[in-house]
Structure 1
Amino acid sequence: MTAVAIYTLTSASIAVLYRRLGLVSLAQVSLMGCGGWVALRFGHGFKLPFELNLLAGGLFAGLIGMILAYPALRMRGLYLALITLMAAGGFGILINVIQFPNGGGGFAGFEVKAIGYLPRPAIAQSDAAFFSYCLIVVAVGFLLIDIHERSRAGRGWALIRKSEAAAMAAGVNVTLYKVWGFALSGFLAGIAGALLAGNLQLLDARSFPPAESVMIFALTVVGGAWHWYGAVIAALLYRLLPAFLNNLGVDGNAAYIIFGFALIHALSTAPRGLAGQLSDGLKRLRKTEPSA
């Protein structure tokens, strides 16, 4: 469930780009890896409190997100998705070379025989306490998204999604707001990566393949990018369903078959995802309730 909370924030970082700007990023899991790498390096190298490691990981991933925003100034749709997927592939190659810090010396902080664990927050040493800690951080992340969507940035994003030409005619700085959106998305993904580093207390390069970015994006669409609880549904499908199948004695990889059918269902009959269907169903129930 801690992993579900962490990947809820990752899904929310994807949804804010897709929902507000109509842009597709297939590099969010790699941005998580960036945030986790910096959190581990700061934790081992500078012995900083976990909260500062968390913030450093988020800011670094936000900076990488801003760099990824520049292709979005010229392209969108399939081409932008391919560019971000290539960036994720590049991260996978790079991280396999330098590895995640484990308490070793040098810039990378990695040594083959060293095993260093990232200390958790002082107030969240146990698994249960760290789960609560993650819930609070995720709630703050959703609040940050909501503040942006209600601000001038949110209004600018809405105009850009509708029509970039109309946005420019209205005086909206399209470049600024696209970069802003990618920075916010990267920051949230980096925070999620730092939380993952705190949960596991070490990270492995094999945990961030490009295919996982594609999967979490697809599940964000299935869950519903237009509702905040769509990110929760996506994370439940991504982390909880395979574990549940394993507990039943079924290979957890069978979940990918379910994900495929769910994606086809979402694209053909539920463009707003399962969260949208749930919301519509609740509205119909309220309308059919007898009046007092």
Structure 2
Amino acid sequence: MRNYLSLLLVFLLLACQQNSDSLTILYSLPHKLKEVSGITYSAQTNLIWTLEDSGNSNTIYGLNSNGTIAKAITIENTENIDWEDITQDKEGNLYIGDFGNNDNARKDLCIYKIDKNALSSNSAVPAIKISFAYPEQLDFPPKKKDLFYDVEGFFEFKNNFYLFTKNRSKGFDGTAILYKIPNASGFHQAIFMGEFKTCEDYNFCAITSASISPDESKIVILNHDKIWLLENFEGDNFFNGTKTELALNHFSQKEAVCFGDNDKLFIADERNKTEGGNMYNVSLKKLKSKS
């Protein structure tokens, strides 16, 4: 009954999509991009780089401030098995996370580095490939109660990647795991960094994206109707600081978040038959004032 009521509430929210007093729609995403799964903002070019997930092209797209595709780059020698997020480092190099793993059965998880100097071309070959595995995962797939090895959100911080897992386990309890992987070519065993509890309803609590602010003082973790803000941490002990849940007052299939500056967030959702397919803008200060 509990699961039925949760699903009913989701359908009601989708059917009666409310106007949020927090989110501002910047533009509708190009119709070509139906399954945006990650975004990252480049202040140098004023472009939002984005990609789509499994079943779509091995291409990254640069969107200008009007939401028009200003640049499309084919990433050669790769396959879009399940590209779930995109991020960048301090120098402006981009990284594609090919680590979507819905069934927790993949053994070919990786991250591709796209050199910043290749972003003016129409095609690019990854500068390096970072492959990895989770040492805690012994079975492919594990039992249904142990499906902890899907990822849809990551960022680069001090020459390491930090991946937040999307819990797909039977008996979902909101547990997400943080893993650390070095930003270096070759194969690596992911390092377990800790666990993070969201909430206990999968439809409202599963993690879909993550980002770190330009000044590296704040982290946001996205869900369909909220974000979790992590602050006041030391080093990469992200869970030892302050955690604040901030409601977006808006439900849709939000799949991507990134910082525009140290306060402003960009958020993108997938398009379905009735709603979505937008790029939004939201202020953390505004969200915190309403919490």
**Shorter-normalised TM range:** under 0.3
Which of 1 and 2 has greater Rg? 1
Higher RCO, Cα 8 Å, sep 6+: 1
Larger proportion of helix: 1
Q: Provide the TM-score with structure 1 as the length reference.
A: 0.24
